[in-house]
Each structure stands twice: as C-alpha cells, then as structure tokens.
A and B are shown apart, each in its own frame.
Chain A
Amino acid sequence: MQLHFTDPTSFKIPIIGSGLMIVVLLFLLSNQWIGEQEQVVKKPQHIAARIVQLNKPKPKTASIKKAQKKAIAKKTKPVKKTTPKPIKKVVEKAKTVVKKEQTPPKPLPLPGTDFLEALEKEEALNATAQAKQKEEQAKKALEDQQQVTDYSSQINALIQSVWRFPPSAKHDEEVVLRVYLVPTGEVTEVLLLQSSGNDALDRSAEQAVWKVRHFPVPKDAVLFEKQFRQIVLKLKPENARL
C-alpha cells in the first residue's frame, strides 16, 4: 500500500495536485469576480448621480454638496484665483445651459466631447457656488465675530458700572464666574468657577451679575447658543487701592 505513493507510475500525486490547483483557481476567480462586480455597480451609481445633477441645478441637494467638496479638495487654487467677474459670466452661461437643457423634454444624446464640456462647466458651476458659499460663510463668521465683540463689550461696561468691590479687595485678585443665560439675556444661574480667596470679593462679583440681571445678547439664535448660552466672566479689581 505504501509503495503506491513512491511508485512513479502512480497517478495519484498529479491528480491530487491538479485538483488542488483547480480549487485554488476557482476560489481566486470567484473572489475577483465579486470585486469586479462591486466596481461595476459603483460606476453606474456615479453616472446616475451626475445625470440627476444636470437635471436639477439647485445647489442644495446632498449629492451636490459632496461633489462640491470633492471639487474644492481637488481644485482649491484655480477657484480662488478667479476674479468675481468671470465667475459671474460662467454662472450666467451655466444657467442658460441648464435652461436650454430643461426646455427640450428629451435628454440630449451627449457625445463624448459634449459630455466632457458639460462636466467641466458643471464643475465650474459647483466650484463657483462653493466659493460663493465659502465667501458667505466667511462674511457671516466675521459678522458673528463682530457681534460677539460688540455684546461682550456691552456686558463688560454694564458689569463695571455696578460692580462694587469690598475695601479688602486687592488689585491682583481675580474671581471667575460662569453665567448661564436664556435667549432673552436673563441670568438663570451664576456659578463660582474660581474663588479669589476673599469671600467678600467673590460675593461682590456674583452680586454684580445679579444686579445686571438682563445681559445684552445677540438675537441670532445660532450665535446665542454657540457663544452666549453660557459665558465666563473674569473679574479683577485692578483699580483697588490695595
């Protein structure tokens, strides 16, 4: 029985070997096929999405946002270098193109070159929209920043006008409070974050907040939530005698 394996005339070794190879090949092939299928599935999805974009030029859909982000990531430099005038022109052109596309009921056949052109235009459109959005965001951020500064200085002035620190206060002492506000600007809670070590000074700071009672806050609800829902006040009696 043992001789069968060592016997050169025996066919068992090649049979087993070839069988194994077939199995391995089949396994590899099946794996490749699955991977290919996934890739194949993805591609049509992408294409489909782009067609939808062409039909719906409104820049608010999620797919557009994603595309815009990709475009920005790829083409930040050219977008920002473009001056406002050409952007406007491109936008107008793009709009007319979109309108023309919309007027005929049947979609255009889109030969290869036309498709590329449309794609470029679309990308340009997306990029300009993105730039505009960014610009708006920046503008809003600057406005918000301005508001934060304005209201902060108003709050500062109000507290200064009522904060009566005790005669024991030293000029280098500091009280830190957290003030909780509601959107009307009304104080709901005052928390002592860091004591000065002087109870009378701590209390005078808390009292100053309650004396003001209504803080000036921005009407913009988003900005309020972001910056004014809770604020930290640092009170230092730098004009104290001691």
Chain B
Amino acid sequence: MMRKSLFIVSLLFSVFAKAELTIEITQGIASSIPISVVPFQTVSLSSSGAVIDDVVRNDLERSGHFSVLGPKDMLSHPHTESDLYFRDWRLLKQEYVVMGVITELAGDQYQIRYQLFDVFNERELLTQTLKGTEQQLRDVAHRISDAIYEQLTGIRGAFSTKIAYVTTNPERTRFNLSIADSDGAREKIILTSKYSIFSPAWAPDGKRIAYVMMEDAGSRVYVQDITTGKKQLISSNRGLNSAPAFSPDGNKLAVTLSKDGNPEIYVVNLTTRKWLRVTDHYGIDTEPNWMPDGKHIIFTSGRSGSPQIYRKNIETGYVERLTFEGNYNARARLAQDGRFLVMVHQSQQSGEFHIASLDLTRGLLQILSSDTYLDESPSVSPNGVMVMYAAKHNKRSILAAVSVDGDVKFLVPSKSGDVREPAWGPYLN
C-alpha cells in the first residue's frame, strides 16, 4: 500500500516537473457584450453631428450582441485618451468604450475620428478617421457600427446594408416598392404601382431588384435597376410567374412557373434568356433559393403531402428532403454559410405560423418568433445573424426582426398602412 501510494505520488511529481499546471475551461457566457459609446465631441455647432453616436448605439443595441450603456449612466464623457480612465469603466462593468470627435471641414465636409478601447486589456483596438457630407453622416455611423461589430464579435457587420419591402396605403389602391437603411431610416420609394407587388429579391451586386407584379393580364417577373429605375420584363408565361431568386453570380434567375399545369421551378440565364427546367413533379414546387455554391437550389414542395423544404442539385438532379418536423415548412432562406435554414413553420401545438430556424448540422429546429402572428416571408441579413419578416400586429402588417439564435426581437417602425415582403440586401462595396 505504502509503496503504491509513494509510487503514484512520485509519478505525479515527475509529471508536474515536465508540464506546467494546465487548467481547462470549457464553459463561458454567451450573453451580450457591455459597451459604452460616449457622445462624440462636436467641435463646431451642428445639429446633425450629434446623431452619429446615437445611430451607433442603436445599431449595436439592435444587433442583440451588445448591451449599450446610456450616456446618462456614464461617469464621464471623455473624448481623448488622456481623459479615459479604464478603472471608471471597469466599475461600470463596461468591457469596451468608444469615443470620437467630429470636426467640420471646408465645403460641407465633416471629419469623424473614433477610437475603440478594450477596458480590461487596457488597449486601443481600433481607430479610424472617416469623412462625409452632412447627408452621409448616417452612412458614416453605420460604417463605424460595422467596424466595431466585426472587431468585437468576429462577424462582419451588416448595418450599412439596405432592406427592400412593399408598402400599401390603407385603402390598398397604391403599392410601393421601397428601399431603406437596415434600421428603417431614409426610406426611398423606387416603384409605385396600382398593381400589387410581391417577392422583391436583391441581385448579389445590390444594384438590381427582381419582383413580381400582379397585372391585369396576370403575374409578371421584372428586374429593375435601382439607380436608373429602368425595369426589364423577364417572365410573362401563361399562368403563374413568381418567386424570383438571383443566383450567387447574379447572372441567372430562378422562378416558379405554372405554364405546364402545376408550379415548377425554372432557371433563366439573364443574358442569353435560355430557360432550364429544374423540377419535374406532379406536386407543387415553388419558392426557390440558391445555395452559396450556385449548384444547389432549395425549394418548397408539396410532394410528400404537406409543404416541406427540399434541396436539389441542378447538375446531378439529386433531390433531398431537409425538413421533417411539423406539417408545414415553407419559404426557406439560408443563414451562416448554409448551416441554418430559416423558414415559415407551423407550430404543431398552436397551429400558428412562426419563423423557425433549422440547424442543418445538428438537426435542431427552433421557433424564433413566438410573440408575433401570421409570420411570413423571412429574409436573412447577409452576415446570417438577423432575420427580418412580416407579421400581423394590431390588424396591420408590419416588419419585425429576430436574431437567428432567437435572443433578440424588435419591430421595425413604419408610418401607416401595411408593410410586407421584406428583402434584406447584400453587402455593398
């Protein structure tokens, strides 16, 4: 006995003599990061200048990955490194501090310099100097948010991106296709029509939008140049022309046509206008969406009796069913490099329609939107973090957003009438 224990002890010591004491930590906290964005110093008096830090705070807060400290709760409002005392921010349990200075240059130009500090490591992580006119200050603010977001989360920021959506007046006699900042600000109408507009879809370059218009003669698929407003008729086949989706290279458009009797998915080359039939089944096949590889298309099909999501390889023709949980899964979009499927899912318990995410690696289905009703047409931000969708709220159709992990939910403000069919735009630049 004695000998054995001695042996074990000596063995332990010999092991320790070789290796350093190693402690393994396998659990952490996945909650939002505390950050303080100090109100920026405006050297010259300008009402619009003060807006920048507000926009940054809103962006970061809305992303769900940050909890932002209000300026009133700060102990001081430093603008330079010499006024920054890390100890004070540690007391406030802040992990990062952003401060900045706005200066007015000649000819309506502003210069914005900001710095991001790590409170616990006590070092500067990021500093940038940006320039812009008064109208561009919001763009500057979103770019600052993007840079901070990417630096701290390791995920590219999508605050500078745009969203497209369809609005209707309460009488439902006017339909507008609008584009706005991802936070809903600076709305711009790019198309007004007496016909209803559906399914806007962005081209990967962010310069064109495809949509469906219900004209008197039937549905039509158009592609419109955003800057010039010029629209191009793509499909006016007999029957249904719907659900356009650009291929990742932007050269092809997948659409649903019912010219052969029941809805099938086709792909049209936008330059040669050559058509290719993708699906051939007596069940309904619709709502195509491309995988990032440009070879696979995911779509909704009723071939098993209820709507479910399938994936088809357009080169080999191989079809695979992706969803099995629930009697209704439709309008799927991909998030985070195709790892997650975001779709409309009918809850088995309540029978309500909600947005759900399906982790294709682990096979886990999660209902993301449980506090809105009749949720429809989810659209995923280009960084795969947020989902924007339409929902019914106070008898109106509004836009709502939820993070793919289900942690953050917010409603996008709208003035009046219905807002529907959101489409989150790609990264610009």
The chain A residues found within 8 Å of chain B, CB to CB, are 80, 134-135, 137-138, 141-142, 145, 148, 152, 155-156, 159-169, 178, 198-201, 203-204, 206-208, 210-211, 226-228, 230-242
| 29 pairs of residues in contact across A and B, judged by CB atoms under 8 Å | A80-B3, A138-B6, A141-B10, A148-B21, A159-B25, A160-B28, A161-B29, A164-B31, A165-B28, A166-B154, A166-B155, A167-B65, A167-B154, A167-B405, A169-B154, A199-B154, A200-B153, A203-B121, A203-B125, A207-B118, A207-B121, A232-B23, A233-B22, A233-B23, A237-B26, A237-B28, A241-B30, A242-B336, A242-B339
The CA-CA distance from A168 to B20 in the complex, in Å, is 30
Chain B contacts for A137, CB-based, 8 A: 9
Q: Is the CB of B9 within 8 A of A141?
A: yes
- Minimum Cβ distance to chain B for residue A139 (Å): 9
A-B CB proximity, top 6 nearest: A168-B154, A200-B154, A163-B28, A210-B120, A141-B9, A232-B22
Q: How many residues of B contact A (CB 8 A)?
A: 38
- Minimum Cβ distance to chain A for residue B51 (Å): 27
Q: Is the CB of B118 within 8 A of A203?
A: yes
Q: A207-B121, A211-B120 are in contact. Are A235 and B28 (CB under 8 A)?
A: yes
The CA-CA distance from A202 to B29 in the complex, in Å, is 15
* CB-nearest residue of chain A to B361: A242
The CA-CA distance from A169 to B339 in the complex, in Å, is 15
Q: A236-B26, A240-B30 are in contact. Are A201 and B154 (CB under 8 A)?
A: yes
Chain A contacts for B3, CB-based, 8 A: 80
Q: A201-B154, A231-B22 are in contact. Are A163 and B121 (CB under 8 A)?
A: no
Per-position binary interface string of chain B over residues 1-38, scored 1 when its CB falls under 8 Å from any chain A CB and 0 otherwise: 01101100110110010001111111111110100000
B385 on interface, CB distance cutoff 8 Å: yes
Q: Is the CB of B28 within 8 A of A231?
A: no
B95 on interface, CB distance cutoff 8 Å: yes
Q: Is the CB of B155 within 8 A of A167?
A: yes
Q: Is the CB of B120 within 8 A of A234?
A: no
Contacts A211-B120, A237-B27 known; 7 new A-B pairs at CB < 8 A: A80-B3, A138-B6, A167-B405, A168-B153, A200-B151, A232-B22, A239-B30
Chain B contacts for A161, CB-based, 8 A: 29
Chain A contacts for B74, CB-based, 8 A: none
Q: A207-B95, A210-B120 are in contact. Are A239 and B155 (CB under 8 A)?
A: no
Chain A contacts for B10, CB-based, 8 A: 141
Q: Is the CB of A165 within 8 A of B95?
A: no
Q: Is the CB of A241 within 8 A of B405?
A: yes
* CB-nearest residue of chain B to A228: B21
- Minimum Cβ distance to chain A for residue B67 (Å): 11
The CA-CA distance from A155 to B21 in the complex, in Å, is 12
Chain B contacts for A240, CB-based, 8 A: 28, 30
Q: Is the CB of A160 within 8 A of B30?
A: no
